[in-house]
């Protein structure tokens, strides 16, 4: 079968590998249909992901159709459209015992630590497979995973109806955060240097857009919130200066969610954190967000398909990744049809 493999940093190709087979009664065999390209896939390609080993079949934003099930499988059946939850945990460490397997000491992600879903056939445990509405198309289903990342950030920020939320970065994940925060009843501002992305964010319901090139970001947020500051800030960029900005534009009793990340330190004044009694937290992967997001997609009213801007057949994988290397402003989410 065909698979998308990074053999070593800088080298991605479509290769032939042996087709996976059912080995346990609780496993599901899936004919994969679509794979979204994520920033973490690009990090693996560039050799910038310290957890990835090579060669590696990538892909964790994936959708497919059930083609075979083990004897004990009851949640899905042959022919079902499904999305894969690409994460495993040990169940025994402190994080797992606290109900937070996303930060398990031994967490493994398909497409990073394990062979991913960027292949024609995948075998995986039933508990990581979620049935979706048959009316959803493959590209839509592949969007569910990145929306669980956005949903986790909104959950970590404890976003409530009426909250004033500021999202830094209008890339695919920032846009997912926007859509989920709006679903929660919040008013949302979002920033980016890319005017095309900001226009798309406005189309998706953003109440206020900020281009840092147009003036001081804090002044713009303070004007939007009538001097209060943002109740929740989600930093989907993660540069040292955006972390500092996230804290600077908050209201009192606000929550700051750090979703993006960078190895360089930020310079943060403690006085703002203490004086405002801020809650600052990280957000990684997701915990129990898949059922919630799947239900949202299954309503058929959560229309997010236009996040997908480009689609390629598996034969054009290198072309798709080349587009992502230096994407024009029109690129949002790129999906490969498997």
Asked whether residue 122 falls in the same domain as residue 155, the answer is no
The stretch 44-60 carries a mean pLDDT of 94
Asked if 324 and 43 touch (Cβ cutoff 8 Å), the reply is no
Burial of 270 (0-12, 13-18, 19+ CB in 10 A): exposed
Residue 50: which pLDDT band, with cuts at 50, 70 and 90? Answer: confident
218-236 pLDDT, tens digit each: 999 999 999 999 999 999 9
Q: Is 116 helix (H, G, I), strand (E, B) or coil?
A: coil
Percent of the chain with pLDDT over 70: 100
Asked whether residue 128 falls in the same domain as residue 192, the answer is no
Say yes or no to pLDDT of 331 above 90: yes
Residue 68: which pLDDT band, with cuts at 50, 70 and 90? Answer: very high
The stretch 194-223 carries a mean pLDDT of 97
Q: Supply the CATH number for residue 36's domain.
A: 3.90.180.10
Cα separation, 138 vs 79, whole angstroms: 13
Asked whether residue 250 falls in the same domain as residue 118, the answer is no
User: What is the model's pLDDT at position 51?
Assistant: 87
133-154 pLDDT, tens digit each: 999 999 999 999 999 999 999 9
Asked whether residue 75 falls in the same domain as residue 124, the answer is yes
User: What is the model's pLDDT at position 9?
Assistant: 96
The stretch 9-35 carries a mean pLDDT of 97
In order, the DSSP letters of 245-311 are HHHHTEEEEEEEEE-S--SSPP---HHHHHHHT-EEEE--S-SS-HHHHHHHHHTS----GGGEEEE
Residue 324: which pLDDT band, with cuts at 50, 70 and 90? Answer: very high
Say yes or no to pLDDT of 189 above 90: yes
Domain annotation covers residue 297: no
Asked whether residue 14 falls in the same domain as residue 133, the answer is yes
Domain annotation covers residue 290: no
Asked whether residue 257 falls in the same domain as residue 314, the answer is no
Asked if 185 and 179 touch (Cβ cutoff 8 Å), the reply is no
Asked whether residue 67 falls in the same domain as residue 45, the answer is yes
Closest Cα to residue 105, out of 116, 95, 120, 113?
Answer: 95
Say yes or no to pLDDT of 260 above 90: no
Q: Which domain holds residue 176?
A: 149-282
Percent of the chain with pLDDT over 90: 96
Asked whether residue 115 falls in the same domain as residue 234, the answer is no
Say yes or no to pLDDT of 88 above 90: yes
Closest Cα to residue 122, out of 77, 74, 57?
Answer: 57
The DSSP call for residue 119 is: B
User: What is the model's pLDDT at position 141?
Assistant: 98
- What average pLDDT does the chain have? 97
User: How many domains are there within the chain?
Assistant: 2
Say yes or no to pLDDT of 263 above 90: no
Q: Is 90 left (phi over 0), alpha (psi -120 to 50) or beta?
A: alpha
Closest Cα to residue 205, out of 234, 163, 176?
Answer: 176
Domain annotation covers residue 250: yes
Q: Is 110 helix (H, G, I), strand (E, B) or coil?
A: strand
């Amino acid at each position: 079968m065909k698979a998308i493999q990074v053999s070593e940093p800088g080298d991605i190709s479509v290769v032939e590998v042996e087709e996976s087979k059912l080995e346990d009664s609780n496993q599901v065999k899936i004919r994969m249909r679509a794979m979204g390209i994520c920033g973490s896939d690009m990090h693996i390609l560039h050799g910038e992901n310290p957890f990835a080993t090579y060669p590696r079949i990538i892909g964790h934003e994936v959708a497919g159709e059930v083609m075979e099930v083990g004897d004990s499988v009851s949640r899905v059946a042959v022919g079902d459209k499904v999305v894969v939850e690409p994460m495993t945990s040990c169940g025994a460490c402190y994080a797992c015992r606290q109900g937070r397997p996303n930060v398990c000491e031994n967490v493994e992600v398909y497409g990073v630590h394990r062979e991913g879903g960027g292949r024609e056939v995948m075998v995986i445990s039933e508990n990581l497979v979620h049935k979706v509405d048959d009316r959803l198309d493959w590209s839509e289903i592949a969007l569910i995973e990145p929306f669980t990342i956005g949903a986790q950030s909104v959950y970590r920020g404890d976003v409530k109806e009426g909250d004033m939320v500021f999202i830094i970065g209008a890339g695919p994940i920032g846009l997912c955060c926007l859509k989920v925060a709006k679903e929660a009843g919040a008013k949302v501002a979002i920033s980016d240097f890319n005017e095309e992305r900001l226009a798309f964010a406005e189309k998706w319901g953003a109440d206020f857009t900020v281009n840092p090139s147009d003036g001081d970001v804090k002044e713009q947020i303070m004007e939007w919130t009538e001097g209060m500051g943002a109740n929740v800030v989600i930093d989907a960029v993660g540069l040292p200066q955006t972390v500092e900005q996230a804290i600077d534009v908050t209201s009192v009793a606000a929550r700051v969610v750090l979703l993006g990340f960078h190895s360089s330190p930020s310079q943060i004044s403690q006085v703002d954190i203490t004086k405002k009694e801020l809650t600052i937290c990280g957000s990684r992967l997701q915990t129990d967000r898949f059922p919630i997001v799947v239900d949202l997609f299954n309503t058929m009213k959560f229309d997010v398909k236009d996040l997908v801007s480009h689609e390629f057949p598996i034969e054009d994988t290198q072309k798709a990744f080349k587009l992502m290397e230096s994407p024009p402003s029109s690129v949002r989410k790129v999906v490969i049809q498997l």
